[in-house]
Amino acid sequence: MQIAEDFWKLGSFGKLNRRHVYFITAVSNDTTHMDRLLDLVNKQTNLKHLTFVIVDMGKGNGKYDLLAHKTLVNAEYLYLGGPFSRSIGLRKGFAYAKQIADKNGHKDAIGFSIDTSIIIPANFSDIVRSHTRCGISSYAPVCYKHKEPGGYWVTTG
């Protein structure tokens, strides 16, 4: 009963603001979109409560070079190689994020899958944090997906 009351009153919003968010993406030989997403993630507010997990399934010289980029956010890189499969990449990414969360003591961490071509605002990690209640709700916002020669709106999360 206490959990339901707290959900509606948001009495623990201060705690929610400090919950750690893990943005998880799977990528394969898509440096253009990955560079843009990394730039958007670096501009997020509340960076100390955010980790960006990149699962790279690129082949050979198609590996994403995270070291060549300045990262303000805590970024974790996992290279799998092999044929690209978004579902396998995200599943491995969520498992990796859970390992990191357990190691760092982030008990109520939030995992959020994000596509490389999504355009997100600077306060997106705060939006995800405030709209997700561990064990109670999930969050799947509608975001703009950038594709050449235009774009479209999609549900993500």
pLDDT band at 53 (very low <50, low <70, confident <90, very high): very high
Measured CA distances, 22 to 47, 94, 121, 149 (Å): 11, 9, 16, 30
pLDDT at residue number 8 = 43
Q: Tell how strand 118-119 and strand 142-147 pair up.
A: antiparallel
Query: What backbone phi and psi angles, to 5 degrees, belong to 35?
Result: -60, -45
Distance between CA atoms of residues 128 and 139, nearest Å = 7
Asked if residue 80 lies in contact with residue 57, where contact means CB atoms within 8 angstroms, the answer is: yes
**Options 3.30.70.2520, 3.40.50.720, 3.90.550.10, 3.90.1150.10; CATH of 2-155:** 3.90.550.10
What are the residue ranges spanned by the domains of the chain?
A: 2-155
pLDDT digits (tens, 9 = 90+) for 106-134: 888 888 888 888 888 888 888 888 877 76
pLDDT band at 157 (very low <50, low <70, confident <90, very high): low
Query: Is residue 35 predicted with pLDDT exceeding 50?
Result: yes
Helices and strands (H and E) in the chain: how many: 5, 7
pLDDT digits (tens, 9 = 90+) for 75-98: 998 888 778 888 888 899 999 999
* HSE (side-chain half, CA atoms, 13 Å) at 75: 23
pTM of the predicted structure, to 2 decimals: 0.79
Burial of 111 (0-12, 13-18, 19+ CB in 10 A): buried
Structure tokens that stand for 48 in this block: 């100390």
Query: Is residue 3 predicted with pLDDT exceeding 50?
Result: no
Distance between CA atoms of residues 40 and 28, nearest Å = 19
Q: Enumerate residues 6+ apart whose C-beta is below 8 A from 92.
A: 55, 78, 80
pLDDT at residue number 136 = 62
* % of the chain beyond a pLDDT of 70: 71
- The most confident of the ranges 18-27, 59-68, 130-139, 147-156 is 18-27
Q: Tell how strand 150-155 and strand 142-147 pair up.
A: antiparallel
pLDDT at residue number 102 = 92
